[in-house]
Structure 1
Amino acid sequence: MEYVELNNGVVMPVLGYGTYLTPRRVTQRHVADALDAGYRLIDTAQNYGNEREVGAAVRASGLGREEVFVTSKTQTSGYRSTRAGIEDSLAAAGLDYFDLMIIHWPNADSRGTYRALEEAYRTGQLRAIGLSNFNRKQVLEIIDTADVVPAVDQIETHLYWQQWGMHDFLTSHGIVHESWSPLGEGQSGMLRDPVLVRIGRTHGKSPAQVLLRFLTQNRIVSIPKSLNPEHIRENLNIFDFRLSDEELGAIRAQDAKRSQSGWPAAMSTEEHY
């Protein structure tokens, strides 16, 4: 595993396991499989409805709590509902703290929502706090009114939307760029892209492994999701090779600045690249 250091000194694995749209009834089993495979970053959210199962898998893993980095995301707007939501999430997961909690998307009272995260950060319920799906302007609005600079902005990032403008902007503010949907959710033939296939053959790796290595080698935290045990293990097995400058450039040239999800629209305007 490789790691990134957040702006408050907390260390975060550069590759984790995502649980978006994982049915509650199978979440604990698949998170347990991921932890057994060696993942130490697990990503969940209030919106996913599976914080309880993620927490149960972490607690049953036999690993020390400090060995697993658990991220959750708010489904609330404003200070009061967010403070209550943090308490509810911790109780559901059966955890004393989350390693990272982020605002899932901008809302009617993002500043109040973030203020609740700051308070929970100060009390030790959250080891780090951040954002998700915030564009450049929205990130600055938080920074301008906050006491704690966000540690992370989790945004759609993959082969066809590499987000280099946002990457440079976030890096300049000491904020880690994290990718959701790093493999494009299997859409548009991304994992059949000839460049990924060719480079994969050179290294004896799959296109998915090449793409995840491209992101992590650029210090972009990535949280691929799979319910296939073989793919879960394969996605983690990317730290035994490095892409050359030529290979990095060839992959970067595939950037089409195109969302696979079509959401959020505010991230899709040229000014936010």
Structure 2
Amino acid sequence: MLKDLRSTTRLNNGVEMPWLGLGVFKVKEGEEVYSSVKHAIQYGYKSIDTAAVYGNEEGVGKAIRESGIPREQLFITTKVWNANQGYDSTLQAFEDSRKKLGLDYLDLYLIHWPVKEKYKETWKALEKLYKDGSVRAIGVSNFHIHHLQDLLADCEVVPAVNQVECHPQLTQKELQVFCQEQKIQMEAWSPLMQGNLDVPLLTELSQKYNKTAAQIVLRWDLQRGIVTIPKSITPHRIEENANVFDFELSTEDIERIDALNANHRYGPDPDNFNF
């Protein structure tokens, strides 16, 4: 039930993950990320998503510790970067991230991109971290169906999450169906199309529901069963992005937003990413 920021989806291993969280991609280390994360947590956010390559894990960790919210009430995600993939190097990368965050454990650890010839070895390291209890859930990011099929062929632990670029211009419906069949929770990064929200339909729906275009898109994510992690460093936007639990889009309007799909990416294609 989507009631508020405490609302969760149950992952395939039983762990509860918040439907909406704060992403901190391109948020500067230091005061910028610290104040953003601290404000979000104090406003009620339970989920924070960072990555080793973002270079801001220390600021995220400081904000978590100084938020006044018990650690067990928060859901913290980070990711292993491409240059660190491989079995031993992934284990070391995890430990480096954990220390920077200043946490005893992580809630979710993801493979950031499917690096050819390496992601299966990296996955074995994630399985070890999971079995050792260092992380409550493990998953992947930017995996196409064929990457998932390859991983599922001989993995011991099915990924709990696949975090991918997903927004009205890249609805990822086929991938979502596959993930649902495999009980993998899909999660959207860049849900707000990097601010490219000046779309006539979104403007129309914004007026109809008396919500911002961003709120319309985030609500569309949630009603499709997709976890979403909008990024913002502005306090009122952080609050605004969270106020999506007091209205519901009609089925017709969801379908109209779906129809905006153009298979357009603002980020790299995982099959052609220059690692």
Aligned to 2:226: 220
Contact 1:135–1:266 (CA<8 Å) still a contact in 2?
no
Matched, 1:193 2:199: yes
Matched, 1:249 2:227: no
Matched, 1:88 2:93: no
**Secondary structure of the corresponding residue to residue 102 of structure 1:** strand
Distance 1:73 1:105 in 2: 9
Distance 2:44 2:205 in 1: 25
**Secondary structure of the corresponding residue to residue 246 of structure 1:** helix
Aligned to 1:51: 57
Contact 2:33–2:233 (CA<8 Å) still a contact in 1?
no
Distance 2:258 2:119 in 1: 33
Contact 2:114–2:270 (CA<8 Å) still a contact in 1?
no
| Unpaired runs of at least 5, structure 1 | 268-273
Aligned to 1:121: 130
Distance 1:55 1:266 in 2: 33
Aligned to 1:130: 139
Aligned length: 264
Once the two structures are superposed, what CA deviation does each residue of 1:67-86 show, in whole Å capped at 9, x if it has no partner? 11000000121100001111
Contact 2:58–2:101 (CA<8 Å) still a contact in 1?
yes
Aligned to 1:270: none
Distance 1:88 1:232 in 2: 28
Q: Identity, % of aligned pairs?
A: 42
Q: If the length of structure 1 is used for normalisation, what is the TM-score?
A: 0.94
Aligned to 1:21: 26
Matched, 1:263 2:269: yes
Distance 2:173 2:269 in 1: 18
Matched, 1:30 2:39: no
Residue identity matched to 1:115: K
Contact 1:160–1:258 (CA<8 Å) still a contact in 2?
yes
Contact 1:101–1:128 (CA<8 Å) still a contact in 2?
yes
Q: If the length of structure 2 is used for normalisation, what is the TM-score?
A: 0.93
**Secondary structure of the corresponding residue to residue 110 of structure 2:** strand
Distance 1:103 1:150 in 2: 10
Residue identity matched to 2:27: T
Aligned to 2:78: 72
Structure 1: which 4+ aligned runs deviate by more than 4 Å?
A: none
Contact 1:42–1:71 (CA<8 Å) still a contact in 2?
yes
| Unpaired runs of at least 5, structure 2 | none
Matched, 1:8 2:13: yes
Superposition deviation, residue 153 in structure 1: 0.6
